[in-house]
Amino acid sequence: MSKEMLSAFEALEKEKGIKKEVIIDALEAALVSAYKRNYNKAQNVEVIFDEKKSDIKVYALKEVVEEVFDDRLEISFPDALKINKAYELGDVLKFEVTPKDFGRIAAQTAKQVIMQRVREAERTNIFDEYSQYQDEVVQGEVQRQDNKFVYMNVGRVEALMSRADQMPNETYKPHDRIKVLVSKVDNTTKGPQVFVSRTHADLVKRLFEREVPEIYDGTVEIVSIAREAGDRTKMAVRSDNKNIDAVGTCVGQKGARVQTIVDELGGENMDIINYEEDPSDYIANALNPAEVIAVQFDEAQNSCLVIVPDYQLSLAIGKRGQNVRLAARLTGYKIDIKAESEVEFVEDPEVADSNSDSSNDTSENTEE
């Protein structure tokens, strides 16, 4: 192996991040195959690179046995002792069998195999790198799109964003730079495939973690998120620190923090509400900005009946049922809403605080 080849391996390690040892291992394996094929040899052989001397040597491996059945693979115990009296049964001896023209033949035969291993090592390297980014936000640049995907440059790979992961209110043009969530990383036969999303609820979570230090350090916890991407998101937050206003912390001074998220998501409305341990209070908050008179549960069906003032019925339901739909997904309850005048009798209702704290009304974006 020439010094130039070693230099090339070192350059490849710097440029591609593939360790030189990986390339050498691949080449040694390729040369074993090349030796057996070109010299019609069936014995066990080992190829060793000597980096210091920059040369290649081929060794036949023979096991020390009492009786030899195949002299290509075995050597008798007495013959082994003639070489070195320290040998014992079961030891493996190495005999150099490097052909004179092996370097030329090996280089020709091994080239394709080496490149294959290099590609595999690079793919593995990329897969390992981007697997670490799964469920995290990365910055990407739009390259092109077709009927199925938007293709984005996110570093060393081209990421795919399916139609389901594209925001309905956004148009993507080449060279647009946007933040996306790495939703899945697959290691396919064609190499690593990275899938990204603009519609995943975790994108909202990660953006808030970046924007709100108290969320990132755990002082404020995001309990649940329900999202209809491009239109509206409801997010429930809490804090164990009684001196912390969880909702106000997320909204920020004069709404600066939440507005940054809204701008990043193309004007998507953000309803941030306080999580409550009491289910009736939690559901009442989730239906914000509508007022709630009472909540009656059917635990067997994991559902509830929510009673609201007559003039608040349409507000509680929301446009095309969006407000109640998001509230149901946020809380995990199936929610049925009725106006107060439609209910003749409510048995032992759990009364929700209809005059909830003004901090529950977290954004100017909550108007239906």
Let me know how long the chain is. Answer: 368
Whole-number pLDDT of residue 177: 94
Whole-number pLDDT of residue 5: 66
CB atoms within 10 A of CB 318: 20
* CATH architecture assigned to 137-197: Beta Barrel (2.40)
* CATH architecture assigned to 3-131: 2-Layer Sandwich (3.30)
Given a cut of 70, the residues of the chain with pLDDT beneath it are 1-5, 106-107, 109-110, 113, 344-368
Pairing of strands 221-228, 158-162: unpaired
* CATH architecture assigned to 202-366: 2-Layer Sandwich (3.30)
Whole-number pLDDT of residue 361: 45
Of 323, 326, 305, the residue nearest 314 (C-alpha) = 323
pTM for the model stands at 0.69
Whole-number pLDDT of residue 234: 97
Whole-number pLDDT of residue 7: 74
Sheet (strand 334-339) strand order: 294-298, 303-308, 334-339
Whole-number pLDDT of residue 2: 55
DSSP-derived 3-state class of residue 31: helix
Whole-number pLDDT of residue 122: 80
CA separation for the pair 151, 163 (Å, rounded):
11
Looking at the chain, the domain(s) classified CATH 3.30.1480.10 span 3-131
Whole-number pLDDT of residue 112: 73
DSSP-derived 3-state class of residue 1: coil
Please write the tens of the pLDDT for every residue from 244-296: 999 999 999 999 999 999 999 999 999 999 999 999 999 999 999 999 999 99
Instruction: List, in order, residues 6 or more apart from 5 with CB less than 8 Å away.
Output: 54
Task: Give me the helix-helix angle, 256-264 and 201-211, nearest 10°.
Answer: 140
CB atoms within 10 A of CB 286: 30
Whole-number pLDDT of residue 106: 66
